[in-house]
Amino acid sequence: MKIAMIGTGYVGLVSGVCFSDFGHEVVCVDKDPRKIEMLERGEVPIYEPGLDLLMAKNVDAGRLTFTLDLAEAIKDADAVFIAVGTPTRRGDGHADLTYVMAAAEEIAKAADHYMVIVTKSTVPVGTNAKVREVVAAANPDLDFDVASNPEFLREGAAIDDFMKPDRVVVGVETDRAAQVMADIYRPLYLRDFPIVTTDLESAEMIKYAANAFLATKITFINEIAALCEKVGADVKQVSKGMGLDGRIGNKFLHAGPGYGGSCFPKDTKALARIGQDHASPMVITEAVIKINEDVKRRMFDKLLDLVGGSFNGKTVAVLGVTFKPNTDDMRDAPSLTIVPAMVGAGAEVRVTDPQGKREGEALLPGVQWYDDPYAAAKDADLLVILTEWNEFRALDLKRVSASMKDARLADLRNIYSSRDAKDAGFVAYDSIGRAGFGI
């Protein structure tokens, strides 16, 4: 199969590389010359473990190329995937479909043969029908189908998710389009991975419903964690006891400083807006959005308590600012709420993150960047663990506490226990949903 992938952002690049590894001929298209130049040099513009090696392998095999020329890319293509951004539109919570519709129109004007135009971007229900209208209007004589193929990739584990998916969701209108999509995903069919074939609207809804449900699980356990702190329960034990129930499961029950990233914030807002537009309010989802913001603000209050009620003149070392480990993604990360609040309250904030500096330098003005957590913690009044990178899971806590001016630890990912902190010489410790000391 020949595939054109429009957009080389996170979803487009990972999908394009993985499709080429299936054996398909893939051309990835982008309007950004700098990005295409990087890719042609073998440089990956995002951080995703293993992506650079897989990309190089398929470029060397001649199955994967990059271009600025959309018309050339879709020549003889069996399927064209739209994988451009759908950011939240300012002011109303809608997903901004400007890039999707522009891509659809450009594809239509350049196309001269039957193809399936596949929306890979996360889009509101009804978008693929609009794509069909845009394409038909731009090229009335074109023979084409549209399909919806939402992605379910976890940043940091995207290649494994693509190659060994829980499921692949494909929304189509015709048997012809279904066959093209089946041929594209044939390697997964042959290994018996679940392929869910639906109508367009159901495929679009599956993506939003899944992400909203996962965001709800995170938010629920964060609310439970707040209550655990009040009543003396341990949220880690509560989560374990809940998660062993097969109806609930143990995933996404890890209390923390709130969800962030490229999907959950954007998709929950979009789902809430879709509900409002159709007079079917998503009350639970709307509550999840509000509570998640409250959780982030509650984290600042925790840190303020740990330093005695004032950040003036205090030095704070923050370990991790990306929204999760194994990614350089800063979108809606809790750090973007918590760190500026500390800076604004008078703290000198030092930051270290294995991959966060590239995006974080512009997003977190007024902080000092360090390469080493031990250097960041030296002479600090407070150490905050904000992202659970493996580098932070096995710190020499005694060395850290001994180097600090005032050995106080805020473990916002529950990596360490209060006993770990006390044995290491910390004079104060707090975490999420568990007992602290010395506050």
State yes or no: is 263 an active-site residue: yes
| Residue, of 38 and 88, whose pLDDT is higher | 38
Model-level pTM? 0.92
DSSP codes of every residue in 323-358: SSSS----TT-THHHHHHHHHHTT-EEEEE-TTTHH
Strand-pair partners of 64: 26
Confidence at residue 86, expressed as pLDDT on a 0 to 100 scale: 87
Confidence at residue 256, expressed as pLDDT on a 0 to 100 scale: 97
Confidence at residue 87, expressed as pLDDT on a 0 to 100 scale: 84
The share of the chain scoring above pLDDT 70, in percent, equals 99
CA–CA separation, 425 and 413 (whole Å): 20
Confidence at residue 207, expressed as pLDDT on a 0 to 100 scale: 95
Confidence at residue 357, expressed as pLDDT on a 0 to 100 scale: 94
The share of the chain scoring above pLDDT 90, in percent, equals 95
In this predicted model, what pLDDT tens digit does every residue of 5-36 receive, in sequence order?
Answer: 999 999 999 999 999 999 999 999 999 999 99
The amino acid that residue 205 corresponds to is: M
CA 20 to chain centre: 23
Q: Is the distance from CB of 222 to CB of 216 less than 8 angstroms?
A: no
- Please give the average per-residue pLDDT across 297-322, as a whole number: 96
Q: Which of 90-94, 390-394, 428-432 has the lowest mean pLDDT?
A: 90-94
Q: Say whether pLDDT at 89 is over 80.
A: no
Of 18, 28, 228, 263, catalytic: 263
3-state secondary structure of 230: helix
Confidence at residue 258, expressed as pLDDT on a 0 to 100 scale: 96
Tokens of 366: 């007024």
Q: Mean pLDDT in the chain?
A: 95
Helix and strand numbers (H, E) in the chain are 18, 14
- Please give the average per-residue pLDDT across 211-236, as a whole number: 97
The amino acid that residue 69 corresponds to is: D
DSSP codes of every residue in 94-116: -B--HHHHHHHHHHHHH--S-EE
Tokens of 50: 């293993």
The amino acid that residue 172 corresponds to is: V
Confidence at residue 91, expressed as pLDDT on a 0 to 100 scale: 65
- Please give the average per-residue pLDDT across 56-73, as a whole number: 97
**Residue 153 — pLDDT band, cuts 50, 70, 90?**
very high
Confidence at residue 93, expressed as pLDDT on a 0 to 100 scale: 73
Confidence at residue 80, expressed as pLDDT on a 0 to 100 scale: 98
Confidence at residue 388, expressed as pLDDT on a 0 to 100 scale: 96
CA–CA separation, 385 and 413 (whole Å): 7
